[in-house]
Amino acid sequence: MSRSAVWHPFTQHAVEPALPKVVRTEGAYLQRDDGRRILDAISSWWVVTHGHRHPAIVEAIRSTAETLDQIIFAGLTHAPAEELASALIGLAPKGLDWVFYSDSGSTSVEVALKMALGYFRNIGAPRSRIVVMESSYHGDTIGTMSVGARGVFNAAYEPLLFDVDTIPFPANGREQETLDAFEAFSRDRKAAALIVEPLVLGAGGMRMYSPSILAELKRIAEASGTLFIADEVMTGWGRTGTLFACEQAGIAPDILCTSKGLTGGAIPLAATLATNAIFLAFYSPDRSRTFFHSSSYTANPIACAAALANIAIWRDEPVIERVTTLTQLQAEGARRFAEDSRFADVRVTGTIAAFELAVANSGYLAEIGPKLRAFFLERDLLVRPLGNVIYLLPPYCVSASELGRLHDAIDQAADLVGQAR
């Protein structure tokens, strides 16, 4: 076979073996061209919720493509986008009244940042600072890298990134330090927004914190007039045990970002939801106050139809029951390793479980990471550890026996690490 010309994401081609080719997807599985079936334990990068190729979503894509393809969304509209916006407002935390479409998690966050800065400029009280949480990740555009953790991911682009104010992660026993830091940054009322991944920091190592801290951060933001941006790109659509993670804190953000599970993971789409107050800051006969942002594929009708089918699945099928069952199974599996000295920490939030191996060399570039990935793939399991952190974030159709198989493999992997010391 000739050498592939494809440059893959987050892939060091100098050391990676030939990549397996997937020819079919179904449920919780990816089928390779050699016939082997791989259990997708990470929902193909956290996007697939109900399982691959859910019939209702596939049919929505097929039927919509018979009448609509891409339509410019500046100056025109269409039914799938209108219906989806209404549905999202009905599902989202109360107070979010407007939906701005884009095409990925990164762009939904980029939109949120521009909304926040534009809001304060348009109301005549400019603010220029963004407050972020340590170890967070919000995307790979220049703006989203700026509000994410600095490190190997973005070191080459440091000259392009803007400065932010960083609060510490609310680690157990040190939560007050986080709250005090945010209060200090908010005091002079120069902070336009605080942006957080609610309850779980994804690429930052699946670090988890409590709903009470999220609620307190929102309270401090309100007291200082700082906008609260909830990046629910990964945490939304049931991942943390509720439709949106913010629900567990009883809060409504000023801006909410959603993507990944928005279409059930079948096709790219994103949305940034905002309050009426933010929309009205741009609503004016003065055209210079327009919100100047778009992408070519904004509100693609086929993607919007897929998202509507996803919402119908949440309405018509026992999705919450599946999420609850998976949450319980993840908690049971984690208890198996809770007192295990091979692990520095084992943690669960909703359907997400993380198993942090006790190793001397930790972090994203830990040598054990690629070895663990290869170890799992040899066993037909798709698991992509974040360095020394093994995590499971499967689609909701995964079975108890399949999870048991994953936990057995984690047990074996921990032995492998111990032997390598």
> Does a structural domain hold residue 18?
no
Does one domain contain both 251 and 331? no
The CATH number of the domain holding residue 373 is 3.90.1150.10
Distance of alpha carbon 363 from alpha carbon 347, whole angstroms: 17
Residue 419's pLDDT band, with cuts at 50, 70 and 90, is: low
Please say whether the dihedral angle defined by the alpha carbons of residues 193, 311, 99 and 92, taken in this order, is positive or negative.
negative
Question: Which range of residues forms the domain containing residue 111?
Answer: 57-316
DSSP string over 122-134 = HTT----EEEEET
- Please compute the mean of the pLDDT values over residues 88-92 and round it to a whole number: 98
Q: What's the pLDDT tens digit per position in 268-289?
A: 999 999 999 999 999 999 999 9
**Contact between 190 and 163 (Cβ < 8 Å):** no
Q: How much is the pLDDT for 361?
A: 82
> Residue 161 sits in a domain of what CATH number?
3.40.640.10
Per-residue pLDDT, 1? 46
The pLDDT assigned to 421 comes to: 55
| Residue 3 reports pLDDT greater than 90 | no
Final residue in a domain of this structure, among 301, 316, 331:
316
What letters, b where the CB count within 10 A reaches 16 and e where it falls short, cover 226-262? bbbbbbbbbbbbbbbbbbbbbbbbebbbbbbbbbbbb
On whether both 100 and 143 belong to a single domain, the answer is: yes
Tokens for 332? 């049971």
Encoded tokens for 243? 């439709």
- pLDDT tens profile 38-65: 999 999 999 999 999 999 999 999 999 9
- Is pLDDT of 420 > 60? no
> What is the three-state SS of 138-168?
CCCCHHHHHCCCCCCCCHHHHHHCCCCEEEC
| Domain match, 287 and 180 both | yes
Q: Which of 316, 342, 373 is the last residue of a domain?
A: 316
Q: Do 155 and 68 fall into the same domain?
A: yes
265, 282, 316 — which closes off a domain? 316
Q: Are 9 and 222 in contact (CB under 8 A)?
A: no
Higher local confidence (pLDDT), 20 or 361: 20
- Our count of domains for the chain comes to 2
**Location of structure tokens 């926040």:** 116
Is the per-residue pLDDT at 2 higher than 70? no
* 352-362 mean pLDDT: 92
Q: Does any domain span residue 169?
A: yes
